[in-house]
Amino acid sequence: MVFSSIPFLFFFFPLFLFLYYILPFKYKNKILLIFSLIFYAWGEPVYILLMLFSTFVDYMNGRLFEKKNFRNKKLYLIIALAINISLLGFFKYSDFLIEVINSLFNVSIPLLNIGLPIGISFYTFQTMSYSIDVYRKNVKPEKNYFTYLTYISMFPQLIAGPIVRYETISEELHERVVDFNGFTTGLLRFMHGLFKKVLIANNIGYLWTVISTSTTGELSVMTAWLGLLAFSFQIYYDFSGYSDMAIGMGKMLGFNYLENFNYPYIATSITDFWRRWHISLSTWFKDYVYIPLGGSRVKKIINIRNIFIVWALTGIWHGAAWNFVIWGIYYGVILLLEKFILKEYIDKFPKWLKHTYTLLLVMIGWLIFAFDDMTLLGNYTNILFGIGNNPFIDSSFIYYFSNYFIIIVIAIILSMPTYHIIKDKLLTIKDEKTELIIFIIRIMMYLLLLIITTSYLVADTYNPFLYFRF
């Protein structure tokens, strides 16, 4: 999907910003909508019709819900949700379902091979949350369809989140501050994300690609673990980098999106990890699935059911393959164990052991997540745990580790709140001369990183966004 993002960011985005800032406020939503649709059409123009249909259904539902004498609100909500889920299900899961039917009943129904609309998993959840929130009277319905369409199609977060609820930016859609301070703050946040994505995720992701595509018989145990560590950092810096860029672009336009990551790799339990990773998705399932099912304020057996449902859906949301189903169940089981059995024991662990426990389980989770081929997953798992004749360590591990040592160290340091701690301490300095020196050094660092990043983008063809496929 890079064809729809990198050219846009480096050509259309500056043009868009120029028009966005010089035009009066009453035109800002219009120019944002036009450029958002251009951005979406750059990749898959035909699927704009799908987005228009989905948004129109939920917009009309919202208008109907505001009528005092309107009956059957619940029925219309169910219809709207059914339409959204059906569209998502058809485009994302139809071939997977056909494969399951073919396998179970030994038939040969041909696959549809329909392309997945970009960002459909994200904007479908946004449209559904809008209908539910209007139905619950948590938000007032949007009266202008084009304003509502602007909210759904907003390009900074359209492709890979975060999932932005209408209530978060409903006021800003009509009145927001667009100024130099927001521009500079947003630009720096955008650049943070760009650096994380290009300089860390891409580089360490290439190591994972090389190792994971090697013949399994040639891998040593330590090389397999090094590859899994590389993927763990790739997916974090890839997705959190995109979220940073989205939040930064939103800030430049006057929108304040909520945070999507909070240093998940410093978590001390799996429960803590999922409070820090992909926060917008976790809270979506909590507010729209888990709590409506009864949450934890029900009998223990019902609570267990609720957790399994949420995590089965979380796994399926990520992709139409058995590994995602297994991945969701894997986390459901661990969270149940932590909630009902392990918590009292984990709380007694020293902090380093809590981190070790959490990171080990998270990395095993990423192993399941990474392979949609069950045979490859099984082979790689066997190597990790020394099942077979693979050596414990070999020259390949030493070569890869020595070449990627610096990037691994940087990835480890930046996965902790080190930068924010240093920045907060520097901000407490009130001496004008020291402030000026720090400012100059900071600008020089950003310029240097920008030059390096640009050179990588120009020269490097390896530039995947992992979450674009969801």
- pLDDT, one tens digit per residue, over 61-82 is 988 888 877 778 889 899 999 9
Return the pLDDT at 2.
Answer: 40
Nearest in space to 363 (alpha carbons), one of 268, 227, 470, 464: 227
388 Ramachandran zone, left/alpha/beta (phi>0; psi -120 to 50): left
Residue 466 vs residue 267, higher pLDDT = 267
- pLDDT greater than 90 at residue 44: no
Bond before 14 cis per omega within 30 degrees: no
Residue 447: count of CB within 10 angstroms of its CB: 10
Q: Could you tell me which residues come within 8 angstroms of residue 26 by beta carbon, excluding any fewer than 6 positions away?
A: none
Q: Cα–Cα distance between 50 and 216 in angstroms, integer? A: 42
Q: Average pLDDT, stretch 343-354?
A: 90
- Rounded-to-10 torsion of CA 334, 335, 340, 346: 80
Q: Could you tell me which residues come within 8 angstroms of residue 366 by beta carbon, excluding any fewer than 6 positions away?
A: 228, 231, 232, 235
Round the average pLDDT of the chain to a whole number and report it.
88
Angle between helices 300-318 and 322-337 (to 10 degrees): 150
Q: Cα–Cα distance between 468 and 470 in angstroms, integer? A: 5
Specify which of 21-30, 207-216, 443-452 reaches the highest per-range mean pLDDT.
Answer: 21-30
Q: Average pLDDT, stretch 418-435?
A: 71
Return the pLDDT at 238.
Answer: 92
The angle at the Cα of 110, spanning 107 to 111, to the nearest 5 degrees, equals: 120
DSSP-derived secondary structure for 317-364: HH-SSHHHHHHHHHHHHHHHHIIIIIHHHHTTS-HHHHHHHHHHHHHH
Percent of the chain past pLDDT 70, that is, above it, reads 93
- Rounded-to-10 torsion of CA 149, 154, 159, 161: -100
Q: Average pLDDT, stretch 433-438?
A: 72
Return the pLDDT at 467.
Answer: 56
Return the pLDDT at 9.
Answer: 60
Residue 5 vs residue 84, higher pLDDT = 84
Q: Average pLDDT, stretch 146-165?
A: 88
Return the pLDDT at 241.
Answer: 92
The tens digit of pLDDT for each residue in 135-145 reads 999 999 999 99
| Predicted confidence band of residue 3 (pLDDT cuts 50, 70, 90) | very low
Q: How far is residue 260 from each of residues 162, 233, 356, 388, 458, measured CA to CA in Å?
A: 6, 16, 23, 40, 29
Residue 386 vs residue 430, higher pLDDT = 386
User: Which of 115-124, 166-175, 297-306 comes out lowest in average pLDDT?
Assistant: 115-124
Nearest in space to 346 (alpha carbons), one of 336, 357, 335: 357
Return the pLDDT at 470.
Answer: 53
Return the pLDDT at 458.
Answer: 67
User: Which of 13-27, 61-75, 95-109, 283-297 comes out lowest in average pLDDT?
Assistant: 61-75
| Predicted confidence band of residue 343 (pLDDT cuts 50, 70, 90) | confident
Q: Average pLDDT, stretch 24-32?
A: 93
Total length of the chain: 470
Identify the DSSP state of 126.
H
Residue 415: count of CB within 10 angstroms of its CB: 18
- pLDDT greater than 70 at residue 8: no
The tens digit of pLDDT for each residue in 385-404 reads 988 888 999 999 999 999 99
C-alpha R_g of the chain: 24
Q: Which residues are catalytic?
A: 318
- pLDDT greater than 80 at residue 421: no
Return the pLDDT at 5.
Answer: 52
Return the pLDDT at 1.
Answer: 40
Do residues 61 and 70 touch, judged by C-beta distance below 8 A?
no
Query: Burial letters for 216-242: b for 16+ Cβ neighbours within 10 Å, e otherwise?
Result: beebbbbbbbbbbbbbbbbbbbbbbbb
User: Which of 93-102, 110-119, 350-359 comes out lowest in average pLDDT?
Assistant: 110-119
Residue 57 vs residue 455, higher pLDDT = 57
